[in-house]
Each structure stands twice: as C-alpha cells, then as structure tokens.
Amino acid sequence: MASEEKHLEEIKQAVIDGDSHASAQVTSDAVTDGVDPLIILNDGLMAGADVVGQRFEAGEYFLPELMLAGRALKAAMAVVEPLLQAKYSSGEADKGDTGVVVMATVQTDIHDIGKNIVASMLTATGFEVTDLGVDVPLKSIITKAQEIDANIIGCSALLTTSMPFMRDLIDLLDAMGERERFKVMVGGASVTPEFAEKIGADGTAPNAVDAVKLAKRLIRQQREAKGVS
C-alpha cells in the first residue's frame, strides 16, 4: 500500500498534467487505501489546481492546459464528492471558502467559452455550480439563484451590446430587494474593473484563475458579514 503522501502527490500530478483518466484512477486508488476524502480534496486536487493557477499566471500554461486541468479535477471530484457528502452530510460542516454559484451568459448573447472555463474551474475547485447556459433571461438567473440559495451569481457577456444586461440584472436585484443576498461577478472580453464598479457588481476577473480567487474572496466577505450580523 502506497503512503498517503505518494497518493496525494500522484493526484496532484494528474491534475497538473491535465490527465483525467489518471486523475480518476489515482483518486480511486487513494480512496481504496483509506485516504480521507477531505484530505484528497484539499492536499491533492486543490494543491494541483494551485500549481496550475501559478503556471497559468506565469504564462507557462494557457487555455488548453487550463481546460484539461479542469477536466481532470472534474473526473476526480466524481469519485470523492459522494464520499464527502456521506461523511459531512450536515452540509454546512466546513465548506471553507467555496459555495454555491449560478452562472449564465446573459440574454441576447450566445458566446460562452469564457463562462464555461470559469464554470469548470469553479466546479473543479469545490464550488457547486449551476450553469444555465447562454442567452438566459435575467429573471431566470435570479429565480434559479433564489431556488438553490446561491452565494454568487456569475454572469457573462462577450459582445459590448449585451453588456448593459449585466447592469440590468443588478438593477433588477436591487428593485427586488435581493441585492444584498447575492454576490455578483461579471465577466467577458470587454468587461473592465471600471465597468464592474460602475454597474455595482462585486467584481470581475481577467481570467478563470483569478475568477476562482475572486469567488473565494467574495464567499469569505459574505461569511464574515453574516458572522458579524
């Protein structure tokens, strides 16, 4: 039987290599050998995701590597997720800085590569993501967020002409008195931090790696605010 360190190292490497076949296999092996699923998640999969993020930021990795890593993470998550749920069924036990996210390309836009990559990276890093697809009416986004009690609404628009709908989404949340309930992340090729600030969003990120960091920061803010109140 391999040591816990060796198992975690293999899992981490499979994520870095973007090898979903291997990542599912080595994660299963680790589970069989009795490694705690939470340790697999944090010290294997997330540790690998961190390295991928660093390499992406250094310019060494690009979108293909990022997508492969996302797939490798997803394949491994399919193995550990049921175990985690069984073990920590109280649910709230300790989600750390991850949470529930609703994602969509807003109505009038059909471009979704960027949104898909962010969604898969969020899923891969432990977020529970509901992806509503493209050209999604604002009302449907909000209704889904209420229904699953989301922490974050992540919306995206590639075309400049569709960007105003992200502002409308925030205005609609305001009008419904639901703005405080959700954090709103916006994204898209033409979205700038200035735009995000102007429309009253909680933030934007230039790429999927930063989007994950932003989502985690927003979750922490939300939990702190709740803790204080």
Partner 1 sequence: MSTAKHKVIFQPMGVRAEVEDGTSLRSAARDAGVAIDSICGERSTCGKCKVVVQRGTFAKEGITSRPEHLSEPGGDERAYWEKRRKGIEARGENPDDYRLSCQARVCGDVVVMVPEGSRAVQQVVRKSAREREIQVRPMLRKLYLELEPATLDNPRGDWERVKAALAAADPVTRGPNDLALEIDALAIDLPALRALQRVVRAGEWRLTVTVRGGREVVRVEPGFAERLVGLAVDVGTTTIVAHLCDLPSGALLATEAMMNPQVGYGEDIMSRMAFVAEDADGLETLHRSVLDGLNQLARRVARQAGMKASEIVEIVVVGNTTMHHLFLGLDTHALGVAPYVPALHDALDLRARDVGLTAVNDGATVHLLPITASFVGADNMGVLLAEAPHEQDEHWLVVDVGTNAELVLGNRERLVCTSTPTGPAFEGAHVEYGMRAAEGAIERVQIDPATLRPRFKVIGSETWSDGEGEEAPLARGICGSGIIDAVAELYRVGVVTPSGKFAPDARSPNLRQGENGPVYVLAEAEQTTIGREIPITQEDVRQIQLAKAPLYVAAHYLLDAFGLEQPDRILLAGGFGSHIDTEKAMLLGMIPDCPLDRVHAVGNSAGDGARIALLNHDRRREAVDLLERIERIELPVQPGFQDQFVLALHLPHMTDPYPHLEGLGPTRAANPMAAKLLGGDTPATDEETD
Q: Which residues bind partner 1 (CB under 8 A)?
A: 18-21, 24-25, 58-60, 62-65, 67-68, 71, 74-75, 107-113, 116, 134-135, 158-164, 189-190
Ordered DSSP codes for 108-153: T----HHHHHHHHHHHHTT-EEEE--SSB-HHHHHHHHHHTT-SEE
Q: How far is the CB of 67 from partner 1 (least distance, A)?
A: 6
Question: Which H or E run contains 89?
Answer: none
Q: How far is the CB of 75 from partner 1 (least distance, A)?
A: 7
Which C-beta is closer to partner 1: that of 3 or that of 206? 206
Question: Cα(39)–Cα(42) distance, rounded to whole angstroms?
Answer: 5
Q: How far is the CB of 59 from partner 1 (least distance, A)?
A: 4
Q: Which residue has the tokens 């209420």?
A: 146
Show Cβ contacts of residue 11 under 8 Å, excluding neighbours closer than 6 positions. 23, 26, 27, 30, 40, 44, 45, 48, 76
Which C-beta is closer to partner 1: that of 19 or that of 183? 19
Residue 81 CB coordination number (10 Å): 15
Q: 126 with 101: CB under 8 angstroms? A: no
Q: How far is the CB of 173 from partner 1 (least distance, A)?
A: 21
Enter the tokens of residue 137: 């009416």
Enter the tokens of residue 111: 């471009």
| Phi, psi values for residue 129, rounded to 5° | -110, 130
Question: Cα(131)–Cα(210) distance, rounded to whole angstroms?
Answer: 19
Q: How far is the CB of 140 from partner 1 (least distance, A)?
A: 15
Question: Cα(53)–Cα(125) distance, rounded to whole angstroms?
Answer: 11
